[in-house]
Amino acid sequence: MAKRRVLITEYVMSCYREDDYAYYDLLPEALAMVKSLEETLTNVGIDVYITVSRHLKETMSLFKNTVSINPFDCVNELGKFASEFDNVIAIAPPRELMIIADIFKERLIQQPPNLVKELSSKYGVVKYLENCGVKVPKTIMVSAGNLREGAIDIPFKVPFVVKPALLAGSECVYVIRGGHYSINRILTIVNEVIKCDPSGNAVLQEYVDGIHGSVSVVYGANGPSFYSLNLQLISIENDRLSFLGGILPVRDYEVVYETRELVNTVYRCFPSIRGYVGFDVVWNDAGIYVVEMNMRPTTSIVGIVQLYPEFGKYLIDERGGSLIYLGDVAPETAYYLVLDRNVGIKASNTKTIGISNAGKRVVVGKEKSMKDVYRIIKPLLSNLAYDLEQIIK
């Protein structure tokens, strides 16, 4: 019997142009996700192929099978391969993911195209989740037209977050804190974010004080099959929010149980949801709040595969329905850090993923406990959005 052929296409790796330095520091994260997907799917007997820009030939040797992509028409070129693979896993910003979903349709091991469109906007998805009974922060969306008319009515006090409606990651994300911001400064920041967003919209969201994390879930036709609650290492400095990495899984089982309820609630609300979904969350004494929902594999997959190499069997299982938690099948704790190229780390059980001349690299490791991880990474962290030491204790 022929092996099942799966294509993995990641936007930055596929669309990188040699003169596009803005993408260069994003490549290590992209490589880390794709390499992890390749490893875990290969472990469960899948024949994996990776799309790579012709301008990234140096990365092709990292993978067993690659498909060369013209970076000047990278998304549309994927249509040439629509019939060559049994399935496709796509990692892309929301706007591009909508196009890719339309190209591959039922071959995509993710959401159907209609659900990708419904849940891609950072504003729209919060409203959908709120209607499902999920805790979410107060959220509004504004455009350049609102700014011209002076029609921004913000229904919450500082601090609050300003972010693009259709961009991935922490690009162009600001945090408005304290009383030292004039209205003109706030409007300037909002206008900068609007210019950054492909749809010309900025999302303003109440900042929830608490522990920043993410939830990684795999959904099948009969329900969710796998989930993990992860700590996110988020820094706030000079109005900007930055992603530094993560630690997983969380073993506070009171919060893990509430996470399980969230995972099941989303399935009941969206029974056609499929594949890997990532939620950005914040939790405190009032419960878990979902601040974003990502309809694609997220960076946490790097840590998941580090702990549980067989994770790929859940990605390709279309049925689902028998739910397990990562912390119940993996006794150790993983971490991944997005570090400046010249920053060292004092640990032996690690691997580094990077590319020559990039200013960033990803370091992945695992230890026996979260305390052991904290001891290693503590010197590398500053300006975190919450007190990590209190959680470790």
**Does residue 123 lie in a domain region?**
no
Q: In 3D, which of 312, 317, 270, 314 has the Cα closest to residue 290?
A: 270
Ranges 91-95, 172-176, 354-358: which has the least confidence: 354-358
Rg (CA), the chain: 20
**Does residue 118 lie in a domain region?**
no
- pLDDT reported for residue 151: 57
What gap in Å lies between CA 78 and CA 217, rounded to an integer?
Answer: 26
And the tokens for 102? Answer: 């339309």
Kind plus residue range of the DSSP H or E element containing 160: strand 160-164
Looking at the structure, tell me whether residues 344 and 202 fall in a common domain: no
**Does residue 121 lie in a domain region?**
no
* CATH number for the domain that contains residue 79: 3.40.50
- pLDDT reported for residue 154: 76
Please identify, among 167, 184, 206, the residue that sits at the C-terminal boundary of a domain: 206
Looking at the structure, tell me whether residues 259 and 366 fall in a common domain: yes
Q: Where is pLDDT greater, at 267 or 81?
A: 267
The helix/strand count (H/E) of the chain reads as: 14, 17
Q: In 3D, which of 281, 122, 120, 267 has the Cα closest to residue 214?
A: 281
- pLDDT reported for residue 149: 58
**Does residue 126 lie in a domain region?**
no
pLDDT at 47 over 70: yes
- pLDDT reported for residue 356: 79
Number of domains into which the chain is organized: 3
Looking at the structure, tell me whether residues 302 and 221 fall in a common domain: yes
Please identify, among 206, 230, 246, the residue that sits at the C-terminal boundary of a domain: 206
Looking at the structure, tell me whether residues 196 and 310 fall in a common domain: no
And the tokens for 270? Answer: 């969206």
Looking at the structure, tell me whether residues 153 and 51 fall in a common domain: no
Ranges 114-123, 144-153, 229-238, 327-336: which has the least confidence: 144-153
70 within 8 A of 77, measured Cβ to Cβ: yes
**Does residue 132 lie in a domain region?**
no
And the tokens for 39? Answer: 């490893």
- pLDDT reported for residue 168: 82
pLDDT at 237 over 80: yes
* CATH number for the domain that contains residue 333: 3.30.470.20
pLDDT at 181 over 90: no
Please identify, among 153, 181, 206, the residue that sits at the C-terminal boundary of a domain: 206
Structural domain including 24 reads: 5-111
The residue ranges of DSSP E strands in 273-355, in sequence order, are 275-284, 287-294, 324-325, 333-340, 350-353
Looking at the structure, tell me whether residues 242 and 159 fall in a common domain: no
58-71 pLDDT, tens digit per residue, is: 889 999 999 999 99
Q: Please state, rounded to an integer, the average pLDDT across all residues of the chain.
A: 92
CA dihedral (190, 194, 195, 200) in degrees, to 10, reads -160
**Does residue 129 lie in a domain region?**
no
- pLDDT reported for residue 209: 94
Looking at the structure, tell me whether residues 350 and 284 fall in a common domain: yes
**Does residue 379 lie in a domain region?**
yes
111-166 pLDDT, tens digit per residue, is: 889 999 999 999 999 999 999 999 999 999 999 887 765 556 777 787 899 999 99
For residue 179, what pLDDT band results from cuts at 50, 70 and 90?
Answer: low
Task: Tell me the percentage of the chain whose pLDDT exceeds 70.
Answer: 97
Helix axes 27-43, 300-307, angle to 10 degrees: 30
Looking at the structure, tell me whether residues 318 and 222 fall in a common domain: yes
Kind plus residue range of the DSSP H or E element containing 175: strand 174-176
pLDDT at 203 over 70: yes
Looking at the structure, tell me whether residues 189 and 295 fall in a common domain: no
Token pair 């799966």 in the structure block, residue: 6
Looking at the structure, tell me whether residues 65 and 47 fall in a common domain: yes
What gap in Å lies between CA 334 and CA 303, rounded to an integer?
Answer: 5
**Does residue 122 lie in a domain region?**
no
339-354 pLDDT, tens digit per residue, is: 988 888 888 889 998 8
Q: In 3D, which of 242, 281, 244, 291 has the Cα closest to residue 125?
A: 291
* CATH number for the domain that contains residue 193: 3.30.1490.20
Ranges 31-40, 167-176, 285-294: which has the least confidence: 167-176
Looking at the structure, tell me whether residues 238 and 372 fall in a common domain: yes
Looking at the structure, tell me whether residues 98 and 246 fall in a common domain: no
Ranges 162-166, 288-292, 323-327: which has the least confidence: 162-166
